[in-house]
Amino acid sequence: MDMVLKYITDRQNRILEIIVSSYVNTAEPVGSRLVSKMMGFSSATIRNVMSDLEDLGYITHPHTSAGRVPTDKGYRCYVESLMRAKEITKKEASRIEEEYRLRRKSVDEIMKKTAEVLSSITDYTGVVLFSRSRGITFKNIDLVSVGRKKVLVVLVMSTGIVKNFIIDTAEDLEKDLDKINNVLNSACCGLTLDDVRERLLGQLRRERDSTHHFLKQSSEIIEAVLQIYYDTEVYLEGTSRLLSKPEFGDPKAARSILQLFENKNLLLELLEGDLGEDRATVHIGRENKYPTFQNYSIVTSGCRLNDELVGRLGVIGPTRMEYDHLIPLVNYISETVNRTLRYLVE
C-alpha cells in the first residue's frame, strides 16, 4: 500500500479526505465547488486535482453526475493513511457497558447478544463468528443409551454451555457406557475437545491393555461430537437495517441483501482467514473475494476466551461507512466482550 500512496501529494490527500468524508455523510457525489469552498482554491484547480485522483484510481464519477465518489482504492487509502479515528462518546460507552452488565449463562448467549448490540448501536448488520474449537474446555460428559447403536451425549463445557447430541455408533455400547464415561471424565477434564481427542489417540498408541477397547470407543465418540459441535457459529442481527441505506433502496438490492445473508457459510469462508487476528481488520468492496460481498465493507475485531482468540465480531455495511467511527467502536465492543467472557469462566 505504501508504494501506491507515496505518489499522492498533500493536496491530493486532503481533497481525497474531503471527498470520502462528504460522500460518507451524504451519499451524494462531491463536486469541485464544495471542495473549493473548504480548501480556498479555485474550482478549476480542484477539478484538475480531482482529475488526477481519478486517473490514479482513487475516485470516480457516476455517468449522470459531475461530482466524484470514492473507489474501493480511495476508501483503502483513507483507512490506511488519512483517517483520524474518533473516540467513542460517553453515551456510547455507557450504553455498551449497560448491555453487558447482566451476567449471561453461556458463550452462546453472549455472542448472540453481541450481534444485537453491534447492529443496534451502528445501524448496520452485526456479525459474530465464534469458533468452539478454541478456548473452551471440557468439564463433564454423560452418555445414555437411547437405542441400539445410538447414544445420547450430554456435554458440559467450562463456559456453562450444555449441549445434547444423539450419535450413531459402530456397535451397541450400552453395556460399556459407564466405563467409557469414566474414561472420558477422568482423563480429559479441563482440556479442549481437540486436546481430549489427542490425549485419547496418544493413549491408544501407547497402551494395549484391558482399557484399549474403551479408549477406542471413547475416541470414536469424541470424533462424532467434534463433527457435530465444533463448527464455527455465525450470528447475524439487523440484516434489514441495510435496506434503509440509499445504496440498497431498490427492490432488487433488497432481495440481494436477504439472499446474501441466508448463506452464512459464505460469510464464514470470507472471514475465516481473520480468525487468528487480534486487531481490527477492514475488508472493502472488491477486496472481498466473493462477488456477492463486493458492494459491502466488513469491519471486525478479535474476541478472546482464556487468552485464546475464539472468533471475530463486527459490522457489515455499505462501502460508504464511517470508518473513523466504526473501527474504534468495534474495538471497544471487542474489549468489553473479552472482559465479559473472562468473568464467565472465572
**Domains located in the chain, CATH noted:** 2-82 (1.10.10.10), 90-132+232-345 (3.30.450.40), 138-229 (3.30.390.60)
Distances in whole angstroms, Cα of residue 280 to Cα of each of 79, 151, 169, 312: 12, 42, 43, 9
Q: pLDDT 10s digit of each residue in the chain, 346 long? A: 343 444 578 999 999 999 999 999 999 999 999 999 999 999 999 999 999 999 999 999 887 777 999 999 999 999 999 999 999 999 999 999 999 887 666 788 899 999 999 999 999 999 999 876 666 677 888 899 898 888 898 888 776 667 788 888 888 888 888 888 888 888 777 887 778 878 888 887 777 666 777 888 888 888 887 776 666 788 999 988 888 888 777 777 777 777 777 777 778 888 877 877 888 999 999 998 888 788 899 999 998 887 778 889 999 999 999 999 999 999 999 999 999 888 776 5
Annotate 72-85 with DSSP letters as a single string. HHHHHHIIIII--P
pLDDT at 232: 75
Contact 128, 151 (CB under 8 A): no
* Residue 223, burial from CB neighbour count under 10 angstroms (0-12, 13-18, 19+): middle
Cα Rg of the chain (Å, integer) = 26
pTM summary value: 0.76
pLDDT at 165: 82
Query: SS3 of 169, please?
Result: coil
Contact 75, 288 (CB under 8 A): no
Of residues 326, 320, 240, 318, the one with CA closest to residue 27: 320
pLDDT at 184: 84
Angle at 336 between CA 332 and CA 342, to 5 degrees: 145
